[in-house]
Structure 1
Amino acid sequence: MNQLNELKKFTVVVADTGDIQSIRKYKPNDATTNPSLILQAATSSLNQRFIDQAVAYAKKKGGLYEDRIANASDKLLVDIGIEILKYIPGYISSEVDARLSFSKEKSIIKAKKLINLYEEQGISRNKVLIKLAATWECIKAAEELKKENILCNLTLIFSFAQARACAESKVFLISPFVGRIYDWYVAKNLISKDFVGKDPGVVSVCKIYDFFKKHNYKTIIMGASFRNVQQILYLSGCDRLTIAPVLLKELESNNTQKLKKQLGLPDVFLSPPKTLSEEEFRWEHNEDVMAVEKLSEGIRNFGKDQICLEKILSKKI
């Protein structure tokens, strides 16, 4: 028995990639993408047809140059998502442009546009999770979208305040990042790169998991952004884990005895605490220096990759 099959006994395994070949090989339940992964997929010669389809769609739709670029980008994102859905039984997560992360209204408009593109091609909204950065604005956007049966995956979760606000807003799923928290602590020389044990990223997810289950929040917790297999194994039993192909390969190649479930339901359940106000959320998130830095960095970098993708499309448009 290998570690990947053992892990699947306790946790829903999700592929963190836009690479179709990897998804076909490792047979995850769900798949997640982001602007960086879509950019990687778009620059592969195997996916040139998706670029061509997106450009043709944008030209047919017409409009201003900016509209054509946006339409091509959205079409590319959705077409890759539809291709991935051919090989998984569960959800595909498709991410809204990170540059909209501080506008509730624009995030809602873009989310509805992506869902419409999926539905125009026969894909039910019940197969799609709209990914949004976990800013206050996007958390509230997800709350509104859920009323129209548009489910969201709130990503770039670094602070406990972000996770709690998502649960209180009844967000469908959150992606707390493990590896990027680990990276920050290593960069600040607060832990060594060869640290052994439950590092701060793992501890963060464990804290969120314990709080959600103890207070009976229904929001799904999907650990993300891993740097090594050990981080993944420490979180066996988490609702979902989204894992890059290189680590899926390592898990599959590692033979093991029965894997131990690390996370489980608590013995005692409590009533939920008073809901965080916007002011309380912003203050508590602001108090976590790591979270402030990594959320800002994540949004910026996803924005940069979106711009790179648009430059590729613009040359053809």
Structure 2
Amino acid sequence: MNDASSSATNQLDQLKRFTKVVADTGDFESMREFEPQDATTNPSLILAASGQPQYSYLIEQAIGEHAKGGLSGQQRLDSIINRVLILFGKEILKIVPGRVSTEVDARLSFDTAGTIDLAKRLIGLYADEGIERDRVLIKIASTWEGIRAAEVLEKEGIHCNLTLLFSLPQAIACAEAKVQLISPFVGRIYDWYKNSTGKEYSGADDPGVQSVGQIYDYYKKFGYKTEVMGASFRNIGQITELAGCDLLTISPNLLAELQAGTDPLEQKLDEATAKQSDVEKITLDEKTFRFQLNEDAMATEKTAEGIRKFAADMVKLEQLISEKAEVPVA
């Protein structure tokens, strides 16, 4: 393992030496301040940003562009929402040098064909703006149906970020499908174990940290190209324990905490070490995947909960835009 030089100005700068830092926000000013490589969005983040006055112009632009035309009702509303997602993504890509993740409607999490159709539509809308598909990751929930959709999309050169991922079977299925990137949710795993056991976890004992470490070791051991991006952090201890992970997506408040911290930061995950780990290869078909996921109460509950929350926030976003555009919600 490597130590960052103690002469580094802060922990965020040190972390960037080992790991690509990604902004987990829809707030443009935070991205400018912390200079991440990539940025991720989801329905909850877009909803939060849409309610802020400084971003209302994007909503108004999307609505204005649909003032005329043949669409009406739900079709018009869907088209406006897709346009809002693209406008946010386009602005983000003016700030970050890398990629933006744009999420499909969580209500399609068990609809392979529907996910593929919407992903292609979103990529087409980005293309209309002159944005190449290599700068966009389509975020899809790590259900069996979502992973199958991602497999098809990757073969067509549409890269995917498989989100709401809480277990090794989900990670293995994603790697076998050759998806570009996965987002295991560190903080939500921690939340479940803390609530279920009543214990406090920190450092290397944190179940969320352990889950990402296990996935990282498995991927590097068997040479998978899928990138691992730890997500959903509750404290900087979880982040520093995963220094060396391919990417980490971090909220603005924790980016600020890292920027203010000056303690030396040690690389904890390392590809060469992972390749030497004692890990057995696991083979999964649909039945095995579903059974192993079912056996993991935490992963089952947190995946379902995450889908419900993102779906609910998409409904709220629909309602917000419906009121502004005077389009009835179906």
- Deviating more after overlay: 14-23 vs 260-269: 260-269
> Where does residue 88 of structure 2 map in the other structure?
80
User: Which residue, 212, 215, 219 being the options, matches 2:219?
Assistant: 212
User: Which residue, 171, 185, 189 being the options, matches 1:163?
Assistant: 171
SS in 2 for 1:262: coil
> Where does residue 260 of structure 1 map in the other structure?
266
User: Which residue, 253, 278, 284 being the options, matches 2:286?
Assistant: 278
Deviation at 1:260, TM superposition (A): 1.0
Deviation at 1:28, TM superposition (A): 0.1
SS in 1 for 2:182: strand
CA distance in 2, matches of 1:215, 1:239: 16
SS in 2 for 1:236: coil
CA distance in 2, matches of 1:264, 1:121: 38
Deviation at 1:12, TM superposition (A): 0.2
> Where does residue 67 of structure 1 map in the other structure?
75
CA distance in 1, matches of 2:27, 2:152: 31
List aligned pairs for 1:193-272, cutoff 5 A.
195=202, 197-257=204-264, 259-265=265-271, 266-268=274-276
CA distance in 2, matches of 1:196, 1:146: 35
- Deviating more after overlay: 58-67 vs 98-107: 58-67
Q: 1:184 to 1:274 in 2, by over 3 A?
A: closer
SS in 1 for 2:245: coil
Contact 1:163–1:208 (CA under 8 A) maintained in structure 2: yes
Residue type of the alignment partner of 1:310: E
Residue type of the alignment partner of 1:102: F
CA distance in 1, matches of 2:133, 2:203: 42
User: Which residue, 113, 116, 121 being the options, matches 1:105?
Assistant: 113
CA distance in 1, matches of 2:62, 2:14: 40
Deviation at 1:159, TM superposition (A): 1.4
- Deviating more after overlay: 96-105 vs 275-284: 275-284
Structure 2 residues not aligned, in runs of 5+: 1-8, 326-330
Deviation at 1:188, TM superposition (A): 1.2
> Where does residue 287 of structure 1 map in the other structure?
295
- Deviating more after overlay: 195-204 vs 221-230: 195-204
CA distance in 1, matches of 2:69, 2:301: 39
CA distance in 1, matches of 2:288, 2:137: 28
List aligned pairs for 1:20-59, cutoff 5 A.
20-59=28-67
Q: TM-score, normalised by structure 1?
A: 0.96
The two structures, once aligned, show a CA RMSD in angstroms of 1.5
User: Which residue, 128, 132, 144 being the options, matches 1:124?
Assistant: 132
Identity score, percent: 52
SS in 2 for 1:129: strand
List aligned pairs for 1:135-174, cutoff 5 A.
135-174=143-182
Corresponding residue pairs, total: 315
Deviations along 1:111-139, one digit per CA (max 9) or x if unpaired, are 01111111101111110000000000110
